[in-house]
Structures are given as structure tokens and as C-alpha cells.
Chain A
Amino acid sequence: MNNYKEIHSGSKPFKRAYVALMLWFVGRAIEAAARVDGAVQAEFDGLPPEFTFSLGVMPQGPTMIVGKDAQGLVKYRGWNPEGQKIDLKMKVKNLEGAILMFTFQESTAVATARNRLIVDGEVPAACAIVRVLDIVEVYLLPKLIAKLAVKRYPDWSFGEKVWNRIRIYAGAVFG
């Protein structure tokens, strides 16, 4: 039958690579931010012991995993969920949705409002993690872009912001 063909879904290697890079960076930045910012550590302290969450793209990644160790320290746990006990899974429904989030065309709030994300786990924990992501995004992004990524840009002192930002970037890149 002409007019008919089967199409096997291809891939989008560049977009995947970009999202994978962003997730890696943000994951490590969260670890660094927990060290330098009291608010981030406080959010994690409010979560159960050894709490671990993942943020990834359906159906098959990329993913980032972050969790507390036995001492309550926040650690980036890599990109592979296999073998890890994950309490909260935040999944973006598709790669294009992840691109919208990580190019900041849609903030976390807007992405949630537009149903781009599925949250698999306790809602109070998800609220805490979204607050953490907001804080980390304010550190990582220039004000102009961060204002698009979060609902309310916080009122931090300039010095505090700059110094912490340097430490978080350094921590994310160098570990």
C-alpha cells in the first residue's frame, strides 16, 4: 500500500545532551548550595533521613539524583537511578518539556501549571524540592533570567549573593 509508511522514533541527541548537562550541573549545584546556604540545608533537614529524589525526563532520561547521606549531608548521586532507593521522582513528560524548562522559557511554576511534570511521591517533599530548585536557580542565573525562572526574586544582600554564587559554581564544576 503506497501512502503508508512506518516511522521509528528517532532521537534528538543535541537536545538530550543539553538537558543532561543542565541536570548534571544543577544536581551538583544543589549539593554545593546545601553547604553554603542555610535555607537549602533547612529544607533538606525537614525531609526524612536519607531522603533521595530524582529529576528526569520520560521515557528514558536523562536524570539527576540527589540525596542525603547517613550524616544528613546532601550529595549529588549521579545520573543512573538503577539500584538507588528514590523517595520522590519528578519526571518531565517529554524532552521538549525539559528543553522549555531548562532554557527558562517556562519556569518550574509554569511548567507545573502546564502539566509538563509528573510528581511521584509525597507532595510536601515535592514542595520542599521545588523551593530548593528556585533558590539554586537564583544563584546560578543572571537576575534577568532568574526572574523568569522563579515566581518572586528574593531580596538578598549583594555581597551574600555574589560570594555564595561563586562557591556554588565552583562546587558544581569542581566538586
Chain B
Amino acid sequence: MDLPGYYEYYCGVKIIAGHDALERIPGVLQDLHARRPMIVTDKGVAAAGLVDIVRGAIKDQLSIGAVADDVPPDSDLRVVNRLAALYREQGCDALIAVGGGSVMDTAKGINIVVSEKADDLMKFSGAGVLKRPLKPLVAVPTTAGTGSEVTLVAVVKDHERHLKMAFVSYFLLPDASILDSRMTLSLPAAITAATGMDALTHAVEAYYGLSKNPLSDATALAAIRLISRNLVKVTRYPSDREARLAMANAAALAGMAFSNSMVGMVHTLGHATGSVCGVPHGVCMAILLPYGLEYNRHKRETIMGELFFPMGGSDVFAGTPKEQRTDRVIAYVRQMNQDLHDASGGRHARFFKEVLDREGKPAVTRERLPDIARTALGDGSIFYNPEELDYDDFLMVLEAAWEGVALDPGCIRK
């Protein structure tokens, strides 16, 4: 087990997991002296009946102050402000976020506004601005997942001023995260696959990144193990409750790993692709992950080889000579994308060329790759990547990821 010369680790979120974890929410809020929560969610989650399940689990012991189900797919400052006003009007004293990344970010944003009585959320952007605990926040993820139920970051977009505000603070962490298998049972195959690969990317990048530490390593290994055993299975058999619970655990574990060890170039390029072409985050992660491994390999060969243990399992690992393990890891990830592609009826994309937008047209064209490469230059996740990337390097990786071909090791500058 590696011990770096220095590291920091924190995850103060209480994790509550199980097939009936939702029923524990009233107890959590009571311990925090809260009794009138506002549920924050989106229309998709509500339509899937998940909010009703949550309400059913808690309504006998709590009085729900408000249910806000109009959070957009991208967290929006106007929505944050409007819902904060609703929270105050209804005399709420806690938040329950039921949804994916955008719902979590919105709830965290609302929490800043109502706790600090802020009129301008902008004042609190950046790191280290929040100085005291916020109102109680319980996170109920409905994907597996972004891991935002255990991260200290919230991103809120100001669409009027075209700004993306990032908030970083330990006080943004939810007080508790509820991992309940009922919340992902009805997740469609393509989203199951994409969010599962998001979790895998978090764990893998945390494991080979520069901020790697023993606890992020242990949680990453656990996450990768669970994903390897459950993601393809649950994409094929969506109502396998044990597999759903395993994936929910994996996403939270991966979230703990990357929130302390940070992420690297897969996220740098993924954020940029999402920003320029609107491709969903998990889809970008799945496509770019093999390239993160290939590009950084010369600096992290042994470490990457270790990942073959949770991915392949002990027997296969034992039978693979050390020098071949990293190759097998890269092949494993590509194969997983292929398996998910098959299990989702072709909806899970394996490379950027095959990603389609809502109208069925290609979402990423070759002409936009230079824009994406330029945008990537401004993303802070690159600090934690083992190897340097400049504009040309970004473009090279994007070209390969667009086409779906492996990187030419000879072209990687060392």
C-alpha cells in the first residue's frame, strides 16, 4: 500500500445504505434538530415515482414543507434563488435532495443561500469562503453515479452572465447520504451504463492521480471491484436489487476517492466536451477513460497494473504476468464499453463519433475538437494528472477518442 509523503483526507458524510435506507431519514433529521424538510428534485425523478417512494418512507414522521421538482438538467442560478425563496416561505429547516448531479448541486446552492441569507450567491464562490455549517442536507442519489452525494463541490451556472460558479467547502458536504436500491431500480440502460462509467472513471483517476492516498486507494479499489462485478449485469438486468445496491455503494465509494484524490485528464477533456458539445458527463467519461490510462501510462505503469486485481479478479490477476497487467486494464475498460454498448441496445457510445444528440444527429463533430482542446486548457483538474498536456496533446487524444482508436504510444511526448 502506498503512503505518500503527505496527504489529506476527509469525508464527513454519514453513509446509510440498504434496501430500506430511506426510512432512516427522519432519524437523521431529528438528530440534527430539523423537522420540516424541503425536497429538491427534478421532473424525471418525480415521473419515475421516486419522490413518492421517498415521501412514503418519511411522511409519517416528518412534515414535508415543500417539494420542488423543477430543477433543470444543468444547475441554474435563477432556480437556486427561486427555490431558496420557496424554502423560506414555507418555513423549512432542512433539505432533502433526490436526484443526480444537477439536483445535488442545486440543493447545495440553495443551502448556501438560505444558511448565509445571501442575496448574491456569487459572493460565496471559490474555496474557503464558507465559515460555518449550513442547514441540514440529506442526499438521496438516483443515479450510480456522480458521487456528488459525498463531494464538497457544487457547480451552479449563471446563464445570464455565461458564468460557471464553483463552490468548494467542507460545509457543502451533505450530513447524510442515503443509498437505497429503490432509487435506481428504474434507471434506463443507457443512463445506468453512463453513470456507472462515471463512477469507474472517478475511482480509476483517483487511483493513478497525483493526490493518491491510502484511503482514496482503498475506497477506489472497493468501487472498482463492485463496478466490475455489477455494472454490466445491472445494465442487462435492471431490476436486480442487489446489483443496484452494489452500484450505489460503488458510486459513493468512488465519490469519496476522487473527492480526496481529485481527478485528471479524463475529467479535463470530459468537462470541456460537455461544455462545448453538450455531451452528458458519464458518456464522456466512458469514452475517454481508456485514453487517460494510455496517456499517463509511462508515469504510472505499476500503479495501473494493480487495478487489474479488482477488475479481473484474483485468478485472472494471478495468471497475468506483471508486465501485461496495464495492457489488460486498458483492454478491460474498452471491453466494458463494448459490453455496455451491447447490453444497452447500442445506446452506450464507445467513441465520440457515435454519440448522438437528442435529435439523433452527431453531437461531436471533428471541426469542434480544436474548441474542446482550447477549453480544456482552463480546467483545474489537469493539475492532478500525472503527465502534462498542452493544446496539441489534448487535440491528439480527442482525435483518437473521436475515431475510437488507441493512442499511438510513440506520439506521447515524455
| Contact (A127, B377) CB under 8 Å given A113-B210, A114-B7, A121-B126 | yes
> What is the distance, in angstroms, from A88's C-beta to the closest C-beta of chain B?
10
Which residue of B has the minimal Cβ distance to A124? Answer: B378
Query: Which stretch, B69-77, B190-198, B379-387, touches the partner chain A?
Result: B379-387
| Contact (A126, B211) CB under 8 Å given A121-B126, A152-B414 | no
Chain B residues, CB < 8 A from A110: 210
A-B contact pairs, 11 of them (CB 8 A): A109-B210, A113-B262, A118-B127, A118-B128, A120-B127, A121-B126, A123-B166, A123-B380, A124-B379, A126-B380, A152-B387
Chain B residues, CB < 8 A from A130: 383
Chain B residues, CB < 8 A from A114: 4-8, 211
Q: Does any Cβ of B come within 8 Å of A115's Cβ?
A: yes
Interface residues of B, Cβ cutoff 8 Å to A: 4-8, 126-128, 166, 209-211, 262, 377-380, 382-384, 386-388, 413-414
Interface residues of A, Cβ cutoff 8 Å to B: 109-110, 112-115, 118-121, 123-124, 126-128, 130, 150-152, 155
Chain A residues, CB < 8 A from B209: 113
Chain B residues, CB < 8 A from A123: 166, 378-380
Which residue of A has the minimal Cβ distance to B380? Answer: A123
| Contact (A113, B383) CB under 8 Å given A123-B378, A152-B414 | yes
Task: Report Cα–Cα, A123/B381, bound state, in Å.
Answer: 10
Q: Is A112 a contact partner of B379 (Cβ separation < 8 A)?
A: no
Task: Report Cα–Cα, A155/B6, bound state, in Å.
Answer: 31
Which residue of B has the minimal Cβ distance to A105? Answer: B5
Q: Is B211 a contact partner of A151 (Cβ separation < 8 A)?
A: no
A112-B383, A127-B382, A150-B388 known; 6 new pairs, CB 8 Å cut-off, are: A110-B210, A114-B7, A123-B379, A123-B380, A151-B386, A152-B387
Task: Report Cα–Cα, A119/B380, bound state, in Å.
Answer: 10
Interface of B is mostly: loop
Task: Report Cα–Cα, A112/B209, bound state, in Å.
Answer: 12
Task: Report Cα–Cα, A127/B210, bound state, in Å.
Answer: 16
Q: Is A151 a contact partner of B378 (Cβ separation < 8 A)?
A: no
> What is the distance, in angstroms, from A91's C-beta to the closest C-beta of chain B?
9
| Contact (A115, B8) CB under 8 Å given A120-B128, A124-B378, A127-B382 | yes
Chain B residues, CB < 8 A from A126: 380
Chain A residues, CB < 8 A from B413: 152, 155
Which residue of B has the minimal Cβ distance to A114? Answer: B6
Q: Is B384 a contact partner of A113 (Cβ separation < 8 A)?
A: yes
Task: Report Cα–Cα, A115/B170, bound state, in Å.
Answer: 14
Which residue of A has the minimal Cβ distance to B166? Answer: A123
> What is the distance, in angstroms, from A107's C-beta to the closest C-beta of chain B?
10
Task: Report Cα–Cα, A118/B380, bound state, in Å.
Answer: 13
> What is the distance, in angstroms, from A100's C-beta to the closest C-beta of chain B?
9
Which residue of A has the minimal Cβ distance to B393? Answer: A152
Q: Is B388 a contact partner of A151 (Cβ separation < 8 A)?
A: yes
> What is the distance, in angstroms, from A140's C-beta to the closest C-beta of chain B?
18
Q: Is B387 a contact partner of A119 (Cβ separation < 8 A)?
A: no
**Partner pick for A113 among B126, B211, B378, B387, CB 8 A cutoff:** B211
Chain A residues, CB < 8 A from B128: 118, 120
Tell which of A110, A113, A118 has the most Cβ of chain B within 10 Å.
A113
Q: Is A151 a contact partner of B387 (Cβ separation < 8 A)?
A: yes
> What is the distance, in angstroms, from B89's C-beta to the closest C-beta of chain A?
34
Chain B residues, CB < 8 A from A118: 127-128
Which residue of A has the minimal Cβ distance to B7? Answer: A114
Chain B residues, CB < 8 A from A113: 209-211, 262, 383-384
Which residue of B has the minimal Cβ distance to A125? Answer: B378
> What is the distance, in angstroms, from B213's C-beta to the closest C-beta of chain A?
10
Task: Report Cα–Cα, A112/B382, bound state, in Å.
Answer: 11
> What is the distance, in angstroms, from B393's C-beta to the closest C-beta of chain A?
9
Which residue of A has the minimal Cβ distance to B6? Answer: A114
Q: Is A112 a contact partner of B387 (Cβ separation < 8 A)?
A: no
**Partner pick for A127 among B5, B126, B379, B387, CB 8 A cutoff:** B379
Task: Report Cα–Cα, A126/B6, bound state, in Å.
Answer: 23
Chain B residues, CB < 8 A from A127: 377-380, 382-383
> What is the distance, in angstroms, from B155's C-beta to the closest C-beta of chain A?
11
Which residue of B has the minimal Cβ distance to A108? Answer: B383
Chain A residues, CB < 8 A from B384: 109, 112-113
Chain B residues, CB < 8 A from A152: 387-388, 413-414
**3 closest pairs, A vs B, by CB?**
A124-B378, A152-B388, A113-B210
Q: Is B127 a contact partner of A119 (Cβ separation < 8 A)?
A: yes
Chain A residues, CB < 8 A from B379: 123-124, 127
Which residue of B has the minimal Cβ distance to A152? Answer: B388
Chain A residues, CB < 8 A from B127: 118-120
Task: Report Cα–Cα, A127/B382, bound state, in Å.
Answer: 8
Chain A residues, CB < 8 A from B262: 113
